[in-house]
Chains A and B, each alone.
Chain A
């Protein structure tokens, strides 16, 4: 099955990413990114855009019904506008579906993070636990990641060193990315000996947060051809949830990523992802997640992603580059916009606009986003030049 209409990304803009942004409100971050994206696509939002999709969660914004505050700074007044309370790539998927109906030709997708405004992020995140069964335990939400990591290491014989190699790679990749604020040269030992957060997870294995905004302009195939010589085609999309219940989920296996990947590959007519995809930007909110997600997405068999990473196979110059942008570990976690940051890097790589970090000959890329602990929701998109 392939998509019944061609859909392309024809414009991209961003603001940030940086660990604090006291000089800019979230509206200004959105405005900056939107102006850049509209300029990039050569469109006027008041004339050309048929529908807008924004991504945001009330608790991250500190405002209930956050949807209220999105239209003005995007130029979206008196237009169809909706918010998706999900991962950035869920928002992208909603826009793709709208174009596929045949009723819309140009759609704008926006996601942002003003994480530096949240003084007590773990306490906010704790409100995501089941209020009856889990929240009364009063535990720090990252314990879910620690337990998951333990189970993943046990089931796949992946080592802690292999997880630490993900951090060394991504933070190093970030050094050549002007969007990334967390570039560093780290040894595996540096990572392993950093402060324990939730055994066995260490501090350097957890992505820090960043502020920023990302705006993408999507167009139908016919319209894309009139706007740009370099459309980035949306080949397939997929998203899925596993059970939310901590008590009954498979802790070692990211089944949501498997299901989301299968749908994305099915809609993209991709039979063997590892052969047909050149590189990937994959959620690495925690270092082990990059490995677990790569395996669930079918890019590597279980237990193999870590060996590959340790041997350098997923470095930018390796056989299958993963997170050449630096990922969330290198760029910072952008809350609901994190997946759009993954997509942005795939777009820049496929356009050949990734500068120092450009991967030679990249034609097909995969982006995968996860909603973070304690959820089991993920979304994937396959893009090609």
Chain B
């Protein structure tokens, strides 16, 4: 045997059992274990969806939204609407000249949304997308909110053929995503942008209260952190909230709803950890509180609170959803990011349900400052630092339940 590697022609003797040889064996053993861990990590991470952010059938509706024939095509746009906890608590019936939107009462946020306020607002967001998509499909929509009869029937959209009109807001439908990440903290929202958002309101009983001055923002932030802490301390509310968290790729593709690590506004590495580590309610709550307190509130350029004359009125809630969706689409076209921050209203409602301490409710009333208007949906606005990810969606086949 010739030791070519070392240029020697001497016969190689079997290595003696030296300390060096022993250490070499130990190094080989350690390397073998490390390689096993690394490769097992690759396979495990693949299975947990670490490398599959925003892909798969659960995200297909974002690509297929303007395909197919009207009026089902309008529902494709409807299901991409903003909605609370991504619960998608909506059902549709579709006829040649009519789409009806129903409350899917089998899907609930429980103690998070005891009065189904957020579910109704979410349905209003879907109605707005449907109305925008109607124009692009050569149909003029006539929307009737809360038409009566069946209490689950939330809205009726009657459609009449007309010339095709594709609006800027319609084109923004697949680009709009709730942005839970940090915003550019040094950038204010210009007055003309706020004016543009206000100009989108077309109902007398729905409007936006803007909180843009530093003192107003600080008051809103303090109250939101207090509400988030109270929310987490409420076992029932926390449990119902956590039931909508989806952490693994398998869960996301199976349910196609809920809040995912990708859409949670976390940094890429924290997002990976969230997928690799088993999620617990305690860890979810901890990330939520720290994200709200340290990222979402301090970096927002401003806050808004959607107000209505009567917070129990279903039509006004639906109108709130229509306006919010319109505003978010318009904001998307201007490069702005938005995110609902509902903790204050959720806690105020919870205080009414439990009859306990009403401190959050009192704080909210003080923030609004006008008893003639009732708050139904706070949100934040600002300029994004990264592109907001899409959230999973159920297919149209799952939500169209019959003919209108």
Q: Do A and B bind each other?
A: no
